[in-house]
Amino acid sequence: MNAETDPSEIIQNERYQAKRNWTIADSSMLYGLDKWGEHYFAINQKGNINIQPTGSKGQSLDLVDLVKELKSRNLQLPLLIRFDDILEDRIKQLHLAFAKAISTYKYEGHYQGVFPVKCNQQRHVVEEIINCGKPWKFGLEAGSKTELLIALALIESPKALLICNGYKDKCYIETAILSRQLGRQAILVIEQVDEIERIILASKELGAAPLIGIRAKLSTRSSGRWANSIGDNAKFGLCVPDILKAVEKLNDANLLTDLRLLHFHVGSQINDIAILKDALQEAGQIYVELKKAGAPMGYLDVGGGLGVDYDGSKTATQASTNYSLQNYANDVVATVKDCCQSNNIKMPILISESGRAIASHFSVLIFDILGTSSVPSYVPKIQDHESLIIRNLREALSFINQVAKDKNPDHSILQEAWNDAIKFKDDALNAFRLGYISLHERAMAEQITWACAKALTDMLPYKNSLTEELTNLKSALSVTYYANLSVFRSAPDTWAIEQLFPIMPIHRLNEKPDQLGHFADLTCDSDGKLAKFIGNSQVKSLLELHQLKPNENYLIGMFLAGAYQEVMGNLHNLFGSTNAVHVRLANNGGYKLNHVVRGNTKSDVLEAMEHDPEQLLERLRINSEVAIQRGSLKIKDAQRLMDHLETTLRQSTYLQEEKGL
């Protein structure tokens, strides 16, 4: 819906829709599923959400059936369901988009992405990504020592890149150098000036050099939420004079031949593609200069930031993006090509560190509703000898009901009727105070007033141009749905509210949702609320929901929730005892549960992410043996590597400690 749409036309449409039978197409439109769901989610004829990882022509799975069966396996709600097929498809789509752009623009180079581990550190998730990404030699990006350890242990393909970002102490640097000897494509990205000396020292000490990258601090500004992480005040990256100094120092230390990569990161969830273009042009020029200064180069890493359209609006707003995946790939490819061509320079291998765009869609959080509360709005039966006040109120109500039949009711008449109702209710209160009416009658007066309000708001379309008071009436009458979700109780200032995720019922989508509500957890404090929902053009404070049915669970899904949920207060804090399952669709229309991760609280972070430290070390030990046999790693150095890894394991604190997210 755009701003030019005539409101009365919308009213007409919506009244029309209310009259005819509600269809699943109406639900799809109302919740925006057809816009944010990509091809992964649809509504089936039963009115349930269908999961269809490869689109409507591929296999599909009824989400409600799945939840029921999981529950019968004693996997209680709330439940985090990860659809690994969707994760696989995301990786595929990303590569297809770049492949298409590369062929369209006849780019002379290829794309080779990495997944930033901080985006979802769960072992099963990272393993799945490595597995699905094999055909493209998809690699990993590490932002801290612990992430480097995870990445080193999990990467299998010797061609896959391992981008080493974040704060680097001696141990981190040595680990990266030794990983190269281990046969990994580890590229150490210089983010701070003082790292250069440490890299030079470590290289001398080990008699081996790392592959080196430089992170540029661009002057382009981001409009995204992490806008402060770039620009002149950014915490990471070298400004142009520092880059030149770095080249000089590397040259003096005979390390310039190992300078292979230029990296930049404009921030997460880039909303506006224009920002990316500016950054690409600036970085492209710096790349050219580095090449001219004698560095072999070869890689341009455009960082993360590829956005997700959470509200499906395709706009440059916080919960959306004004570009598609293909637009993104096209811009990266075309801009870099232009820059290289006009400077007569070989086009680099393109890297992106897209986290959110890969890991958002595959995970769905399902919770149920324990109960609702709302103001009573049913009309009490007519009794003998009702007082004048009650009769007045009844008259106001029947007047409103009369107007409601009108095709195009006059708003000022409605407002007047409401004013009358409010006045009569105040009269009732006064009369009660003075002893003229009974408590019973006062209760009736309140009920009829709410009934008036209900009759009025029922007439209101979802979007309307009514007076503020009538609009506020809607929220006064809204229903609180008590969600069976500990997230709001345990998250100190509820990150989940900051980030807008599409939220909608996963069944009954062939019934018209006739309530407006928001979610609260059982503590009922102000932080325990979920009252921001994606709307057609703006954030809504109330969501259209169904009335609860006796003896039937009402199931709600929070979608696109797979990226950064750990960051939002750490998975084990945030979701307390949430169970997580990994599901793969099977050929026969069934499915396979690949992993069941029982929710429980663990103190150790690595273990909380399901990584087994012993297993990580064991894998690396085996890898070291292979490298020693091959002659690329000395036994002494292998020992040193294992020492570093063990130290890192012992020290490991929060995985994302060094990321200023």
Residues in the site for ligand PLP, rule: CB under 6 A? Answer: 116, 118-119, 141, 143, 165, 265, 268-269, 303-306, 353-356, 659
61 SS3 class = strand
Minimum CB separation of residue 178 from ligand PLP in Å reads 23
State which residue, 187 or 445, has the beta carbon closest to ligand PLP. 187
- What's the CA gap between 119 and 656, in Å, rounded? 9
Minimum CB separation of residue 56 from ligand PLP in Å reads 28
579 SS3 class = strand
State which residue, 454 or 659, has the beta carbon closest to ligand PLP. 659
Q: Provide the residue type at 568 as one letter.
A: M
Residue 502 tokens, joined: 């599409």
Q: Which residue has the tokens 């809607």?
A: 474
- What's the CA gap between 130 and 124, in Å, rounded? 10
Minimum CB separation of residue 263 from ligand PLP in Å reads 8
Minimum CB separation of residue 85 from ligand PLP in Å reads 21
State which residue, 147 or 446, has the beta carbon closest to ligand PLP. 147
Stretch (H or E) spanning 171: helix 170-181
**Phi and psi for 189 in degrees, rounded to 5?**
-95, 120
State which residue, 354 or 652, has the beta carbon closest to ligand PLP. 354
Find the residue with minimal CB distance to ligand PLP: 304
Q: Which of 149, 185, 196, 191 is nearest to 166 (CA)?
A: 191
State which residue, 356 or 508, has the beta carbon closest to ligand PLP. 356
Minimum CB separation of residue 565 from ligand PLP in Å reads 12
Pairing of strands 41-43, 49-51: antiparallel
State which residue, 208 or 563, has the beta carbon closest to ligand PLP. 563
Minimum CB separation of residue 535 from ligand PLP in Å reads 24
Tell me the C-alpha to C-alpha distance, in Å, between residue 449 and each of 423, 444, 471: 10, 9, 16
> Is the CB of residue 518 less than 8 Å from the CB of residue 481?
yes
Minimum CB separation of residue 368 from ligand PLP in Å reads 30
State which residue, 40 or 264, has the beta carbon closest to ligand PLP. 264
- What's the CA gap between 48 and 71, in Å, rounded? 17
- What's the CA gap between 400 and 449, in Å, rounded? 11
Count of residues making up the chain: 661
Residue 117 tokens, joined: 């581990």
> Is the CB of residue 359 less than 8 Å from the CB of residue 306?
no
State which residue, 140 or 555, has the beta carbon closest to ligand PLP. 140
Q: Which of 456, 454, 437 is nearest to 388 (CA)?
A: 437
Q: Which of 270, 281, 273, 271 is nearest to 303 (CA)?
A: 270
Residue 315 tokens, joined: 């706009």
Minimum CB separation of residue 594 from ligand PLP in Å reads 24
326 SS3 class = helix
State which residue, 234 or 400, has the beta carbon closest to ligand PLP. 234
Minimum CB separation of residue 356 from ligand PLP in Å reads 4
Minimum CB separation of residue 232 from ligand PLP in Å reads 18
State which residue, 144 or 486, has the beta carbon closest to ligand PLP. 144
Q: Which residue has the tokens 């639900």?
A: 27
